[in-house]
A and B are shown apart, each in its own frame.
Chain A
Amino acid sequence: MSVTVRTQLLLFLISLSSRMGISRCLDMLATDGYFTFVASRPQLTCAAFIIAEPSEVISLELTDVSIDCGAGDFIKMFDGWVLKGEKFPSSRDHPLPLHQRYTDYCSSTAPGATSRSSQNVAMIFFRIHSPDSGFTLAVKKLHNPFPCNIMSQSPEGSFTMVMPHQRRNCSFSVIYPVEIRLTELSLGQAKSNELSPQRQLWSGCSGSGDYVELLGGNGVDTSKMFPVADLCFSLSGLAQMKIGCDNSVVRLVSSGNYINRVSFQYRLLEQNELPKTRENNLDNFCSVE
């Protein structure tokens, strides 16, 4: 084969950029592509977690499905992640009610089932009884200009969350113990020049409409995590906090009256930086695996 033909063939193969993969019963998918699962034996508890970049959402489509819904097989797509019974994003942070976050292939009337996530994580649960039954899952990533509710793929990085005049709660979750440094926080301007009433120190920021809170916990559900700190005043300097928990979250609560913006960096805590566990200490609300 001549060189030019060979190069052309290679370039043609490269242009087929979608990945064809064989999925396992428990899998993590981080790229676009088509993933086929065929059961070699009855598989009753299977799931595939899908994760994208923070500013992307995931579009899922099921094709070539050959399962027997009547025999108890199912494929359910979920808008978020479920881990040990806890959901991310939590019901407080997600725009849809829980039953609308599930798309059941067996219940849908259309020949295929599609689902688009509201954030950069999604997953499917499936159960297949008979061998040689299976399906193909098409994963596509779509750009999201104002990401809200993000699961970070790595323990280090930086991000800016912007919430333009939307009444939403957004959580940025890092499933590692990290040190978080807030580099910029802009919580909108007050409507008038009146002095806001003095808030008592113990009530924190929950009285005001817009604030940022840092949470730590052992699960993925942000509503079950413990607030480590909260900020309701715009700051231009640096604020940093070490959260020695399995899950560290920056959560932006917005009333919809302002454009809120928070920028932060995070890095993994080393073993010697983790808070020492002290006996009989009420502060120990989380642990690190």
Chain B
Amino acid sequence: MKSAPLLLLLSSVLLSSHLRPAAGRPRTFPGWLDGSGRLQQTQQMDEMLLRAAAAGDSSASDLLSDNILRFLQRRSPDHLHLLPPEEDESDDGAVRTAAQLLKRSEEPPLSIDLTFHLLRNMIQMAKMESQREQAQLNRKVLDETLLEIMETDFSDPLTPLASPLPHLQAHNPLNSGLLVDSRQMGNRRSSCHFHSFSIV
């Protein structure tokens, strides 16, 4: 009579041990896992474990302690709805240590896999950006200074100009020619064509 409960216990243990491989990691990786990156692999593993645990497989929950399960839940927010949202204050510390352990074991050293070609382009773009900003600043200063000069030269700014501005041409502070963007002139109609000028 005593052997019956023992037999029952033994059979239940044997049955549950047969269930384990379903939730455990497969010994031979399926084809889609081969050759993929480490990060992808870990993510897929996590998903498999979470799915197995969510399906109510008690052996999966036995395999993973509650703490690690909650950590995986946090890592994959898509699967949040699959697990009961128990937020226990006392477990947070354990979750954190579990998280740190997993992080240290699987996180590769910090590095960016940029090719030299991309790195060179990035440096050139950053330099061009700073030069462009400086050029815009210079253009603003120049335009403002020129407007100031023009407004002090003419008594009636709306009078159309018949000839090029003598002052600008004669007292040209810059050797290469001082020209103003025609759009800045607004209502002034002149017979000259002015082009924008920027210092780079």
Interface size class of A (residues with CB under 8 A): 20 to 34
Interface contact A29-B126, CB-CB below 8 Å:
yes
Interface contact B99-A72, CB-CB below 8 Å:
yes
Could you tell me the distance between the alpha carbons of A72 and B115 in the complex, rounded to whole angstroms?
27
Query: CB < 8 Å: which of B120, B144, B148 contacts A175?
Result: B120
Residues from chain B with Cβ under 8 Å of A31 in the complex:
126, 129-130, 133
* Residue interface mask A111-135, B partner, CB < 8 A = 1: 0000000000000010000000000
Could you tell me the distance between the alpha carbons of A6 and B143 in the complex, rounded to whole angstroms?
12
Q: Interface SS of chain B: helix, strand, loop or mixed?
A: helix
Could you tell me the distance between the alpha carbons of A85 and B119 in the complex, rounded to whole angstroms?
15
Which B residues between 122 and 153 are near A, CB-CB below 8 angstroms? 122-123, 125-127, 129-130, 133, 137, 140-141, 144-145, 147-148, 151-152
Say whether B31 faces chain A, with CB atoms less than 8 Å apart.
Answer: no
Could you tell me the distance between the alpha carbons of A218 and B112 in the complex, rounded to whole angstroms?
15
Interface contact A83-B141, CB-CB below 8 Å:
no
Query: CB < 8 Å: which of A10, A51, A289 contacts B140?
Result: A10
Interface contact A19-B133, CB-CB below 8 Å:
yes
Could you tell me the distance between the alpha carbons of A10 and B112 in the complex, rounded to whole angstroms?
41
Query: CB < 8 Å: which of B116, B122, B140, B144 contacts A28?
Result: B122
Interface contact A3-B127, CB-CB below 8 Å:
no
Interface contact B111-A84, CB-CB below 8 Å:
yes
Interface contact A175-B112, CB-CB below 8 Å:
no
Q: Which residue of B lies closest to A84 (CB)?
A: B113
Given A70-B96, A85-B109, A125-B110, residue A289 in contact with residue B115 (CB < 8 A): yes
Say whether B114 faces chain A, with CB atoms less than 8 Å apart.
Answer: yes
Residues from chain B with Cβ under 8 Å of A246 in the complex:
116
Say whether A181 faces chain B, with CB atoms less than 8 Å apart.
Answer: no
* Residue interface mask A1-40, B partner, CB < 8 A = 1: 0010011001000100001000000111111000000000
Interface contact A176-B109, CB-CB below 8 Å:
no
Given A28-B122, A30-B130, residue A3 in contact with residue B147 (CB < 8 A): yes
Query: CB < 8 Å: which of B116, B127, B137 contacts A247?
Result: B116
Q: Which residue of A lies closest to B137 (CB)?
A: A14
Smallest CB–CB gap between B124 and chain A, Å?
Answer: 8
Interface contact B112-A47, CB-CB below 8 Å:
yes
Residues from chain B with Cβ under 8 Å of A175 in the complex:
116, 119-120
Interface contact B117-A289, CB-CB below 8 Å:
yes
Interface contact B112-A3, CB-CB below 8 Å:
no
Say whether B18 faces chain A, with CB atoms less than 8 Å apart.
Answer: no
Say whether B167 faces chain A, with CB atoms less than 8 Å apart.
Answer: no
Could you tell me the distance between the alpha carbons of A29 and B127 in the complex, rounded to whole angstroms?
9
Given A10-B141, A19-B133, A30-B130, residue A51 in contact with residue B123 (CB < 8 A): yes
Q: Which residue of A lies closest to B115 (CB)?
A: A289
Query: CB < 8 Å: which of B110, B120, B133, B148 contacts A3?
Result: B148
Interface contact B119-A30, CB-CB below 8 Å:
no
Interface contact B133-A76, CB-CB below 8 Å:
no
A-B pairs, top 10 by smallest CB distance, nearest first, are A30-B126, A28-B122, A28-B126, A31-B130, A246-B116, A125-B110, A289-B117, A85-B111, A47-B112, A82-B111
A30-B123, A289-B117 are known contacts; what are 9 more A-B pairs with Cβ within 8 Å?
Answer: A3-B147, A3-B148, A14-B140, A31-B130, A49-B122, A51-B123, A78-B110, A153-B123, A176-B120
Q: CB within 8 Å of A: which residues of B?
A: 74, 96, 99, 103, 109-117, 119-120, 122-123, 125-127, 129-130, 133, 137, 140-141, 144-145, 147-148, 151-152
Q: CB within 8 Å of B: which residues of A?
A: 3, 6-7, 10, 14, 19, 26-31, 45, 47, 49, 51, 70-72, 76, 78, 82-85, 125, 153-154, 175-176, 218, 246-247, 289
